[in-house]
Structure 1
Amino acid sequence: MDHSNSIDADAGVAPGMIFLPRNIVTFVSGNPDKRNDAIAILSPYTDIKLVDLDLKEIQGDEKEIAKDKCDLAMKLFENEIVIVEDTSLRFTEFGGMPGPYIKHFNKTVGADGLYKMLFCYSDKSAIVRSTVAIGVPKHLTNDGLRQIHIVSNNLKGEIVEPRGENGDKNGWDPCFKPAETFLTLGEMDEKERRKYCSRVGALFQATKVLLNIFNQNMDASKNEENGSGIELNN
């Protein structure tokens, strides 16, 4: 994968890269698959600084967790636009559980255990939900206050007996089959998986938020250069 538009937090600025603070975002995640998806989707629109860091997660719903993680990231990188992502797996039969706690469920029982949880139930439908939070520092907002924008994307499918060894290293991709295909996420190569990946859809939504932020600040810079909006007292 071409990483020419990304910046590794430990490597500093890539050679020859022009540093434009408002056109660089900091993506914070300890998950390499999330970081790779961020590079693939966001890099055509902005330069990316990657930070390999697992942020502490509170108990709550997807939006509450993503917002709190974003707030933590903004405190660590207070002058930067930051992005965090949280993925949940919601079983219809269980009223949306395990939801945002899927990481902990999966560590305990694995993909095979998740499949067995629904084995005796007729309804094996599930939704993968990706929630992305974009944190904007106060010097880049119109009102001078920090902002957190939340976007999300759902992928409908069902839980099946695990198949395949590809996909997210968290390990439950082999037991999730999107509704519009016969393949599990674990059977897909990276290119095919991104056609269905809920995280990719949420990151595409995030690009719209980023472009709006960049355009607003570009307009503000032009106004300052032209002297508009500046009041002079004689």
Structure 2
Amino acid sequence: MYVYFTKTLKPKLTFVTGNKMKLKEVQAILGPNSPVEIVSYNLDLPELQGEIEDIIVKKCQEAARRLRLPVLVEDTSLCFNALEGLPGPYIKWFIKKLQPEGLVRLLAGWDDKSAEAISTFGFCKGDCEDSKVEIFQGRTQGTIVNPKVQNYHGWETCWDCVFQPNGYNKTYAELEIEEKNRISQRFKALMKLKARFSQMDL
């Protein structure tokens, strides 16, 4: 009599990013009980303009069109309430040009230093430009403060050192990475995604 043991493999989901730290953070947040195995693919996607949701939909559709696989993309925004939501989805370019201290200077003339960090994931199962994109979004409220440390948890360009989440007297950069991952906008978005994937057949 022969007994065969089969190993149940999780379906793989391609996360389109060239940022190894972002991949590592996503994998850590989803944890070992994730219903999917996240693998990365570095794909040079066009830099789009528009509202947060519009950008993520077009970005996701383009990635799916090129790879012809179920794909996951993410876009992070930092929105200053005093500036009507700017820099928003363009924070990547602001941080590169101004550095964290420059972000603080943007609000120098305003009493309102409040901000909202937003993480938006887009998932597309199809392989054509007009495929349906599901959006999973997380938001964390906080305040923009002067940087106390320059610890970016390994990120080359990051605004963690100037964003202090509500209810804390430390910035993201001062928190242990495990604690940050339990309260961040990315965590909130990924918990919605994880719940959805638990019910989905890739």
Give the structure-2-normalised TM-score: 0.86
Q: Deviations over 1:7-43 (max 9, x none)?
A: xxxxxxxxxx8666xx211111122222112212335
2: CA distance between counterparts of 1:24 and 1:190? 25
Verify: 1:28 aligned to 2:12, yes or no: no
Letter in 2 for 1:27: F
Work out whether residues 18 and 40 of structure 2, in 8 Å CA contact, stay in contact via their aligned partners in 1: no
Which residue does 1:227 correspond to in 2? none
Give the CA deviation at 1:200.
Answer: 1.6
Verify: 1:84 aligned to 2:77, yes or no: no
Work out whether residues 29 and 181 of structure 2, in 8 Å CA contact, stay in contact via their aligned partners in 1: no
Verify: 1:53 aligned to 2:43, yes or no: yes
Quick one: which of 171, 181, 202 aligns to 2:158? Answer: 171
Verify: 1:74 aligned to 2:61, yes or no: no
Verify: 1:161 aligned to 2:141, yes or no: no
Tell me the number of residue pairs that the alignment of Structure 1 and Structure 2 aligns: 191
1: CA distance between counterparts of 2:140 and 2:23? 20
Judging by fraction of residues, say which structure has more helix: 1
Larger RCO (CA within 8 A; separation ≥ 6): 2
Two-structure CA RMSD over aligned residues (Å): 2.1
Moved more, 169-178 or 125-134: 169-178
Give the CA deviation at 1:187.
Answer: 1.0
Unaligned runs of 5+ in 2: 1-6
Give the structure-1-normalised TM-score: 0.75
For residue 55 of structure 1, give the secondary structure of its aligned residue in structure 2.
Answer: coil
Distance 1:54 1:196, change over 3 A: farther
Letter in 2 for 1:64: D
1: CA distance between counterparts of 2:188 and 2:88? 18
1: CA distance between counterparts of 2:56 and 2:45? 10
Letter in 1 for 2:138: N
Percent of aligned pairs with the same residue? Answer: 32
For residue 213 of structure 1, give the secondary structure of its aligned residue in structure 2.
Answer: coil
* Structure having the higher Rg: 1
Distance 1:62 1:122, change over 3 A: same
Trace 1:1-234 onto structure 2 (pairs within 5 A): 23-42=11-30, 44-78=34-68, 80-137=69-126, 146-164=131-149, 165-167=151-153, 168-214=155-201
